[in-house]
Structure 1
Amino acid sequence: MTFQELEIKVQDILHHKNILRDEKLLQICHLLRDNIDYYDWVGFYFRNGDKEELLLGPYAGEPTDHTVIPFGKGICGQVAVSNKNFVVPDVSAQDNYIACSITVKSEIVVPMFVNGENIGQIDIDSNVKDPFTENDERFLEFVNAEIAKLF
Protein backbone atom coordinates (compact mmCIF):
# COMPACT_ATOMS: atom_id res chain seq x y z
CA MET A 1 0.00 0.00 0.00
CA THR A 2 1.38 3.44 -0.92
CA PHE A 3 1.80 6.30 1.54
CA GLN A 4 -0.97 8.14 -0.33
CA GLU A 5 -3.36 5.20 0.16
CA LEU A 6 -2.35 4.96 3.82
CA GLU A 7 -3.02 8.68 4.33
CA ILE A 8 -6.66 8.11 3.32
CA LYS A 9 -6.95 5.15 5.71
CA VAL A 10 -5.42 7.20 8.56
CA GLN A 11 -7.98 9.95 7.97
CA ASP A 12 -10.79 7.37 7.89
CA ILE A 13 -9.71 6.00 11.29
CA LEU A 14 -9.44 9.49 12.81
CA HIS A 15 -12.87 10.60 11.62
CA HIS A 16 -14.79 7.85 13.46
CA LYS A 17 -16.77 9.63 16.15
CA ASN A 18 -17.55 6.64 18.38
CA ILE A 19 -13.97 5.44 18.91
CA LEU A 20 -11.77 6.70 21.76
CA ARG A 21 -8.54 8.50 20.87
CA ASP A 22 -6.24 5.74 22.17
CA GLU A 23 -8.15 3.14 20.16
CA LYS A 24 -7.72 5.28 17.03
CA LEU A 25 -3.98 5.54 17.72
CA LEU A 26 -3.76 1.79 18.22
CA GLN A 27 -5.55 1.20 14.91
CA ILE A 28 -3.08 3.53 13.18
CA CYS A 29 -0.14 1.66 14.73
CA HIS A 30 -1.48 -1.63 13.37
CA LEU A 31 -2.32 -0.09 9.99
CA LEU A 32 1.25 1.14 9.53
CA ARG A 33 2.93 -1.97 10.90
CA ASP A 34 0.76 -4.28 8.80
CA ASN A 35 1.14 -2.34 5.54
CA ILE A 36 4.74 -1.12 5.50
CA ASP A 37 7.00 -4.14 5.47
CA TYR A 38 9.96 -2.44 7.18
CA TYR A 39 7.85 -0.95 10.03
CA ASP A 40 8.36 -3.66 12.65
CA TRP A 41 7.34 -1.69 15.77
CA VAL A 42 5.09 1.38 15.64
CA GLY A 43 4.16 3.33 18.74
CA PHE A 44 3.46 6.67 20.31
CA TYR A 45 5.12 8.34 23.27
CA PHE A 46 3.55 11.39 24.92
CA ARG A 47 4.86 14.00 27.33
CA ASN A 48 3.86 13.24 30.92
CA GLY A 49 2.22 16.53 31.91
CA ASP A 50 4.86 19.00 33.11
CA LYS A 51 7.43 16.29 33.79
CA GLU A 52 10.40 15.99 31.46
CA GLU A 53 9.60 12.43 30.51
CA LEU A 54 7.67 10.51 27.88
CA LEU A 55 5.08 7.84 28.58
CA LEU A 56 4.43 4.97 26.20
CA GLY A 57 1.06 5.20 24.50
CA PRO A 58 -0.60 2.82 22.05
CA TYR A 59 1.75 0.65 20.00
CA ALA A 60 1.89 -2.36 17.70
CA GLY A 61 4.73 -4.83 17.90
CA GLU A 62 6.69 -6.68 20.54
CA PRO A 63 6.16 -5.51 24.14
CA THR A 64 8.76 -3.06 25.45
CA ASP A 65 10.12 -2.36 28.91
CA HIS A 66 10.59 1.29 27.93
CA THR A 67 7.31 2.69 29.18
CA VAL A 68 8.88 5.86 30.63
CA ILE A 69 11.70 7.68 28.82
CA PRO A 70 13.42 10.72 30.36
CA PHE A 71 13.96 13.72 28.08
CA GLY A 72 17.39 13.47 26.45
CA LYS A 73 17.68 9.68 26.82
CA GLY A 74 17.59 7.53 23.71
CA ILE A 75 16.29 8.63 20.33
CA CYS A 76 12.80 9.45 21.64
CA GLY A 77 14.19 11.45 24.55
CA GLN A 78 16.43 13.41 22.20
CA VAL A 79 13.48 14.27 19.93
CA ALA A 80 11.55 15.50 22.99
CA VAL A 81 14.36 18.04 23.49
CA SER A 82 15.28 18.90 19.89
CA ASN A 83 11.74 19.04 18.44
CA LYS A 84 13.19 17.64 15.21
CA ASN A 85 12.79 14.40 13.28
CA PHE A 86 15.50 11.88 14.02
CA VAL A 87 16.31 9.14 11.50
CA VAL A 88 18.80 6.52 12.65
CA PRO A 89 19.93 4.36 9.71
CA ASP A 90 21.97 2.05 11.98
CA VAL A 91 21.17 1.97 15.71
CA SER A 92 24.47 0.23 16.48
CA ALA A 93 26.26 3.46 15.49
CA GLN A 94 24.28 5.55 18.05
CA ASP A 95 25.82 6.18 21.47
CA ASN A 96 22.56 7.32 23.09
CA TYR A 97 20.36 4.50 21.79
CA ILE A 98 18.05 2.53 24.11
CA ALA A 99 17.85 -1.00 22.75
CA CYS A 100 14.31 -2.38 22.76
CA SER A 101 15.16 -5.56 20.90
CA ILE A 102 18.28 -7.13 19.43
CA THR A 103 16.46 -7.39 16.09
CA VAL A 104 16.08 -3.60 15.69
CA LYS A 105 18.52 -2.18 13.15
CA SER A 106 17.12 1.32 12.49
CA GLU A 107 14.66 3.82 13.91
CA ILE A 108 12.73 6.93 12.95
CA VAL A 109 11.10 9.30 15.44
CA VAL A 110 8.91 12.23 14.37
CA PRO A 111 7.58 14.76 16.92
CA MET A 112 3.92 15.74 17.19
CA PHE A 113 2.95 19.36 17.81
CA VAL A 114 -0.21 20.99 19.14
CA ASN A 115 -0.21 24.79 19.03
CA GLY A 116 3.55 24.73 18.46
CA GLU A 117 4.23 22.56 21.53
CA ASN A 118 5.83 19.12 21.25
CA ILE A 119 3.31 16.83 22.97
CA GLY A 120 4.78 13.52 21.85
CA GLN A 121 6.01 11.53 18.93
CA ILE A 122 5.59 8.54 16.71
CA ASP A 123 8.42 6.03 17.02
CA ILE A 124 9.11 3.33 14.45
CA ASP A 125 11.68 0.55 14.71
CA SER A 126 12.80 -1.50 11.76
CA ASN A 127 14.63 -4.81 11.62
CA VAL A 128 16.27 -3.57 8.40
CA LYS A 129 19.25 -1.21 8.21
CA ASP A 130 18.64 2.19 6.59
CA PRO A 131 15.12 1.73 5.15
CA PHE A 132 13.73 5.18 5.98
CA THR A 133 13.58 7.91 3.35
CA GLU A 134 12.38 11.49 3.19
CA ASN A 135 9.04 10.03 2.04
CA ASP A 136 8.71 8.25 5.41
CA GLU A 137 9.40 11.52 7.20
CA ARG A 138 6.79 13.44 5.19
CA PHE A 139 4.24 10.65 5.65
CA LEU A 140 4.78 10.46 9.42
CA GLU A 141 4.59 14.26 9.68
CA PHE A 142 1.21 14.03 7.94
CA VAL A 143 0.06 11.29 10.33
CA ASN A 144 1.09 13.33 13.37
CA ALA A 145 -0.53 16.52 12.04
CA GLU A 146 -3.80 14.65 11.58
CA ILE A 147 -3.60 13.05 15.04
CA ALA A 148 -2.76 16.42 16.64
CA LYS A 149 -6.25 17.61 15.64
CA LEU A 150 -7.63 15.20 18.29
CA PHE A 151 -5.91 17.11 21.11
Structure 2
Amino acid sequence: MPFTQLKPIVKTILSNTSETVDQRLTNVCELLQSSIGYYDWVGFYFANEAKKTLHLKAFAGEETDHTVIPFGKGICGQVAVSNENFVVPDVKAQDNYIACSMYVKAEIVVPLFKDGKNIGQIDIDSHTANPFSVEDERFLEWVNEEVATIL
Protein backbone atom coordinates (compact mmCIF):
# COMPACT_ATOMS: atom_id res chain seq x y z
CA MET A 1 0.00 0.00 0.00
CA PRO A 2 1.43 3.43 -0.91
CA PHE A 3 2.55 5.71 1.90
CA THR A 4 -0.06 8.32 0.89
CA GLN A 5 -2.82 5.78 1.54
CA LEU A 6 -1.32 4.75 4.88
CA LYS A 7 -1.12 8.27 6.33
CA PRO A 8 -4.85 8.74 7.03
CA ILE A 9 -5.03 5.25 8.55
CA VAL A 10 -2.10 6.02 10.86
CA LYS A 11 -3.83 9.27 11.89
CA THR A 12 -7.07 7.39 12.63
CA ILE A 13 -5.27 4.76 14.72
CA LEU A 14 -3.37 7.37 16.73
CA SER A 15 -6.46 9.51 17.35
CA ASN A 16 -8.42 6.60 18.87
CA THR A 17 -8.35 7.68 22.51
CA SER A 18 -10.48 4.70 23.58
CA GLU A 19 -7.27 2.63 23.30
CA THR A 20 -4.09 3.00 25.35
CA VAL A 21 -1.02 4.60 23.83
CA ASP A 22 0.71 1.20 23.83
CA GLN A 23 -2.20 -0.39 21.95
CA ARG A 24 -2.22 2.42 19.39
CA LEU A 25 1.54 1.98 18.87
CA THR A 26 1.04 -1.76 18.39
CA ASN A 27 -1.75 -1.08 15.90
CA VAL A 28 0.55 1.23 13.90
CA CYS A 29 3.26 -1.47 13.92
CA GLU A 30 0.75 -4.07 12.71
CA LEU A 31 -0.54 -1.76 9.98
CA LEU A 32 2.93 -1.03 8.62
CA GLN A 33 4.10 -4.63 8.88
CA SER A 34 1.02 -5.97 7.07
CA SER A 35 0.76 -3.18 4.46
CA ILE A 36 4.34 -2.79 3.25
CA GLY A 37 5.69 -6.00 1.78
CA TYR A 38 9.31 -5.46 2.81
CA TYR A 39 8.54 -4.34 6.40
CA ASP A 40 8.94 -7.75 8.05
CA TRP A 41 9.34 -6.50 11.63
CA VAL A 42 8.24 -3.10 12.96
CA GLY A 43 8.82 -1.87 16.48
CA PHE A 44 8.96 1.20 18.70
CA TYR A 45 11.75 1.48 21.25
CA PHE A 46 11.76 4.19 23.92
CA ALA A 47 14.74 5.55 25.83
CA ASN A 48 15.43 5.29 29.53
CA GLU A 49 17.89 8.15 29.84
CA ALA A 50 18.92 7.31 33.40
CA LYS A 51 19.98 3.78 32.42
CA LYS A 52 21.09 4.68 28.87
CA THR A 53 18.94 1.90 27.45
CA LEU A 54 16.18 1.49 24.88
CA HIS A 55 13.07 -0.51 25.76
CA LEU A 56 10.75 -2.22 23.28
CA LYS A 57 7.25 -0.85 23.79
CA ALA A 58 5.29 -2.16 20.78
CA PHE A 59 6.02 -4.34 17.75
CA ALA A 60 4.62 -6.49 14.97
CA GLY A 61 6.44 -9.50 13.56
CA GLU A 62 8.44 -12.30 15.15
CA GLU A 63 9.11 -12.24 18.88
CA THR A 64 12.53 -10.82 19.74
CA ASP A 65 14.91 -11.30 22.65
CA HIS A 66 16.12 -7.73 22.10
CA THR A 67 13.65 -5.92 24.35
CA VAL A 68 16.35 -3.83 26.06
CA ILE A 69 19.24 -2.37 24.04
CA PRO A 70 22.09 -0.31 25.52
CA PHE A 71 22.77 3.07 23.93
CA GLY A 72 25.51 2.67 21.33
CA LYS A 73 24.89 -1.07 20.72
CA GLY A 74 23.46 -2.21 17.40
CA ILE A 75 21.73 0.03 14.90
CA CYS A 76 19.07 1.12 17.41
CA GLY A 77 21.63 1.93 20.08
CA GLN A 78 23.67 3.96 17.60
CA VAL A 79 20.59 6.03 16.64
CA ALA A 80 19.95 6.70 20.34
CA VAL A 81 23.37 8.39 20.40
CA SER A 82 23.54 9.97 16.92
CA ASN A 83 19.96 11.33 16.76
CA GLU A 84 20.03 10.58 13.02
CA ASN A 85 18.31 8.12 10.71
CA PHE A 86 20.31 4.98 10.03
CA VAL A 87 19.61 3.00 6.86
CA VAL A 88 21.42 -0.33 6.58
CA PRO A 89 21.10 -1.87 3.10
CA ASP A 90 23.04 -4.99 4.16
CA VAL A 91 23.20 -5.90 7.86
CA LYS A 92 26.10 -8.30 7.22
CA ALA A 93 28.25 -5.30 6.30
CA GLN A 94 27.73 -3.71 9.76
CA ASP A 95 30.20 -4.45 12.55
CA ASN A 96 27.92 -3.13 15.30
CA TYR A 97 24.78 -5.05 14.38
CA ILE A 98 22.58 -7.10 16.73
CA ALA A 99 21.17 -10.05 14.79
CA CYS A 100 17.49 -10.53 15.61
CA SER A 101 16.75 -13.15 12.98
CA MET A 102 18.81 -14.98 10.41
CA TYR A 103 16.35 -13.77 7.78
CA VAL A 104 16.98 -10.04 8.32
CA LYS A 105 18.94 -8.55 5.44
CA ALA A 106 18.32 -4.80 5.93
CA GLU A 107 17.24 -2.39 8.65
CA ILE A 108 16.10 1.21 8.98
CA VAL A 109 15.90 3.09 12.26
CA VAL A 110 14.44 6.59 12.54
CA PRO A 111 14.61 8.57 15.80
CA LEU A 112 11.43 9.81 17.45
CA PHE A 113 11.64 13.33 18.83
CA LYS A 114 9.35 14.98 21.39
CA ASP A 115 9.97 18.66 22.16
CA GLY A 116 13.29 18.44 20.30
CA LYS A 117 14.57 15.47 22.36
CA ASN A 118 15.24 11.98 20.99
CA ILE A 119 12.96 9.84 23.17
CA GLY A 120 12.85 6.69 21.07
CA GLN A 121 12.70 5.31 17.57
CA ILE A 122 10.90 3.23 15.04
CA ASP A 123 12.86 0.20 13.88
CA ILE A 124 12.10 -1.77 10.71
CA ASP A 125 13.74 -5.06 9.74
CA SER A 126 13.44 -6.44 6.23
CA HIS A 127 14.09 -9.88 4.78
CA THR A 128 14.80 -8.09 1.47
CA ALA A 129 18.26 -6.71 0.71
CA ASN A 130 18.47 -2.93 0.25
CA PRO A 131 14.71 -2.19 0.12
CA PHE A 132 14.64 1.20 1.86
CA SER A 133 14.50 4.50 -0.01
CA VAL A 134 14.43 8.17 0.89
CA GLU A 135 10.63 7.87 0.68
CA ASP A 136 10.72 5.30 3.51
CA GLU A 137 12.78 7.71 5.61
CA ARG A 138 10.39 10.62 5.01
CA PHE A 139 7.34 8.44 5.72
CA LEU A 140 8.80 7.05 8.96
CA GLU A 141 9.80 10.56 10.06
CA TRP A 142 6.19 11.57 9.49
CA VAL A 143 4.92 8.54 11.46
CA ASN A 144 7.19 9.51 14.37
CA GLU A 145 5.98 13.13 14.28
CA GLU A 146 2.40 11.85 14.51
CA VAL A 147 3.27 9.42 17.32
CA ALA A 148 4.94 12.24 19.27
CA THR A 149 1.60 14.07 19.40
CA ILE A 150 0.07 11.31 21.57
CA LEU A 151 2.99 10.92 23.98
What interval of TM-score do these two structures reach, taking the shorter chain for normalisation? over 0.9
Matched with 1:134 is 134
Matched with 2:36 is 36
Matched with 2:60 is 60
Q: Distance in 1 between matches of 2:140 and 2:54?
A: 19
Q: CA deviation at 1:108?
A: 0.1
Letter in 2 for 1:33: Q
Q: Does 1:96 align with 2:91?
A: no
> For residues 80-95 of structure 1, what are the structure 2 equivalents within 5 Å?
80-95=80-95
- The list of structure 1 runs, each at least 4 consecutive aligned residues, that deviate by more than 3 angstroms after superposition, is none
Q: Secondary structure at the match of 2:110?
A: strand
Q: How many residues align?
A: 151
Q: Distance in 2 between matches of 1:57 and 1:17?
A: 18
Identify the range of structure 1 (67-76 vs 42-51) with the bigger mean alpha-carbon deviation: 42-51
Kindly report the root-mean-square deviation, in angstroms, between the aligned alpha carbons of the 2 structures: 0.6
Question: What percentage of residue pairs aligned between the two structures are identical?
Answer: 62
Per the normalisation by structure 1, the TM-score is 0.99
Instruction: Please list every run of 5 or more consecutive structure 1 residues that lacks an aligned counterpart in the other structure.
Output: none
Q: CA deviation at 1:49?
A: 4.5
Q: Secondary structure at the match of 1:147?
A: helix
CA-to-partner distance for each residue in 1:47-77, whole Å, 9 max, x for gaps? 0252210011110000001111000000000
Q: Does 1:117 align with 2:117?
A: yes
Q: Distance in 1 between matches of 2:17 and 2:81?
A: 33
